[in-house]
A = this chain, B = another copy of it.
Amino acid sequence: MTYFEDIVLGVRREIGRHTFTAEEIKRFAGQFDPQPFHMDEEAAKRSHFGALCASGWHTAAWCMRFLVEDHDRHVAELKARGEPIAQWGPSPGFRDLQWLKPVYVGDTITYAAEPIEKRESKSRPQWGLLFSRNTGTNQKGELVYSFIGSAFIERRVKG
């Protein structure tokens, strides 16, 4: 990764897109969110969603996957250029997660990430805390998913 000091705020980047199938929606829901409107087309029709749709945690899990892949791509690029690679630390959590619209069968969600805020860590001078707005948008351009993620990122200048 880029060092904490070098991260530019306000630059949105696409990290991946995924089309949700009925089969995978039901498989994820069967394991982790077995509510009728995520499991069965007929029950979903009678629900407030009106049709089979993905668990919100399923939408979230794909975002995480694309965030990791984006990170790995970035590290590979730095390696290829022979540049130093800053460590990513653990995420202490996140805030403001919103499921804004259902993700229906056949919807293609484009995920994006945008660094929005940086804070130096007082307790851990070798790390900075980066906040990013991570989003999912469907093929109609509607925002379906959003959260503010956070991660510790190594500083170039230690303390």
Q: Are A96 and B99 in contact (CB under 8 A)?
A: no
Interface centre among A61, A95, A100 (most CB of B within 10 A): A61
Name the interface residues of A41-75: CB closer than 8 Å to any CB of B: 48-49, 55-57, 60-62, 64-65, 68-69, 72
Task: Give Cα distance in the complex from A94 to B56, angstroms.
Answer: 11
A106 in the interface, Cβ–Cβ < 8 Å?
no
Task: Give Cα distance in the complex from A38 to B89, angstroms.
Answer: 14
Name the interface residues of A95-119: CB closer than 8 Å to any CB of B: 95-100, 102
Task: Give Cα distance in the complex from A60 to B28, angstroms.
Answer: 13
List chain B residues, Cβ under 8 A from A69: 34
In the assembled complex, 23 residue pairs joining A and B whose CB atoms fall closer than 8 Å, in A order, are A31-B61, A31-B65, A32-B64, A32-B65, A33-B64, A33-B68, A34-B65, A48-B90, A49-B90, A55-B64, A56-B91, A56-B93, A57-B61, A57-B64, A60-B60, A91-B99, A92-B99, A93-B96, A93-B97, A93-B98, A94-B97, A95-B97, A97-B97
Q: Are B95 and A95 in contact (CB under 8 A)?
A: yes
Chain A: residues with Cβ within 8 Å of the partner, total of: 31
A19 in the interface, Cβ–Cβ < 8 Å?
no
Q: Are B65 and A33 in contact (CB under 8 A)?
A: yes
On whether A48 and B89 interact (CB within 8 A), knowing A32-B65, A55-B64, A64-B32, the answer reads: yes
List chain B residues, Cβ under 8 A from A91: 56, 99
A35 in the interface, Cβ–Cβ < 8 Å?
yes
Task: Give Cα distance in the complex from A34 to B33, angstroms.
Answer: 21
Closest 5 A/B residue pairs (Cβ): A32-B61, A93-B98, A32-B65, A33-B64, A93-B97
